[in-house]
């Protein structure tokens, strides 16, 4: 066999096709550059982009919850946004009161509070939005339980919502709220 350029034939025409090694090398290099370019670090999200995504992740709809939960399970894809994904779940309250699993609802609630605060946008309106989304999440969770136990779940959901609505932020709690809660105990 000689040291000439390899020859191949196409199935359709059985005519020789010359394979040029330099073209193969260039195509491979270009492909590698494209792949590495796509896998490279993403740009940092702007404050406006971060707020838009944060707002979309804290709506009352099931689709908002599903988008947030998908992002939660793929946090690396959202690194450019610098979100705080930490949580203490339902804080001092049980995560699974009477066996009803409120864990992810509490996690999304923490996500909303922590990220609106970090963005300097923890206004009454945004607090109410996050609290309302929390209540909607809890009600959707309760809807998955049997009709026999669902009323108990919904009652707990209402109690958890009231707790965050009134005591959800130290800035929103005043002494009269604490005094009123003490009277209930």
Q: Is 109 a catalytic residue?
A: yes
Q: Is 161 helix (H, G, I), strand (E, B) or coil?
A: helix
Task: For residue 86, give the nearest of 62, 106, 56 by alpha carbon.
Answer: 106
Residue from 14, 43, 74, 109 carrying the catalytic annotation? 109
Instruction: Convert 36-67 to b/e letters by CB count within 10 Å (16 or more is b).
Output: eeeeeeeeebeeeebbebbeebbbbeeebbee
Strand 7-9 vs strand 16-18: parallel, antiparallel, or unpaired? antiparallel
Rounded distance, CA 10 to CA 13, Å? 6
3-state helix, strand, coil in the chain (%, to 5): 65, 5, 30
Q: Is 51 helix (H, G, I), strand (E, B) or coil?
A: helix
Rounded distance, CA 29 to CA 52, Å? 38
Rounded distance, CA 123 to CA 129, Å? 10
Active site residues: 109
């Amino acid at each position: 066999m000689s040291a000439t350029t390899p020859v191949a034939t196409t199935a359709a025409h059985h005519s020789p096709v010359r394979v040029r090694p330099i073209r193969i090398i260039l195509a491979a290099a270009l492909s590698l550059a494209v792949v590495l370019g796509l896998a490279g670090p993403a740009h940092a999200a702007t404050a406006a982009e971060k707020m838009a995504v944060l707002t979309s992740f804290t709506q009352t709809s099931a689709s908002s919850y599903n988008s947030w939960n998908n992002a939660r399970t793929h946090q690396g894809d959202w690194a450019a946004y610098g979100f705080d994904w930490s949580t203490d779940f339902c804080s001092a309250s049980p995560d699974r009161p009477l066996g009803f699993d409120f864990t992810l609802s509490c996690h999304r609630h923490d996500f909303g509070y922590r990220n609106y605060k970090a963005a300097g946008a923890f206004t009454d309106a945004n607090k109410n939005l996050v609290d309302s989304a929390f209540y909607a999440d809890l009600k959707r969770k309760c809807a998955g339980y049997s009709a026999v136990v669902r009323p108990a779940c919904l009652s707990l959901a209402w109690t958890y919502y009231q707790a965050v609505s009134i005591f959800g932020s130290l800035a929103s709690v005043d002494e009269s709220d604490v005094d009123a809660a003490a009277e209930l105990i």
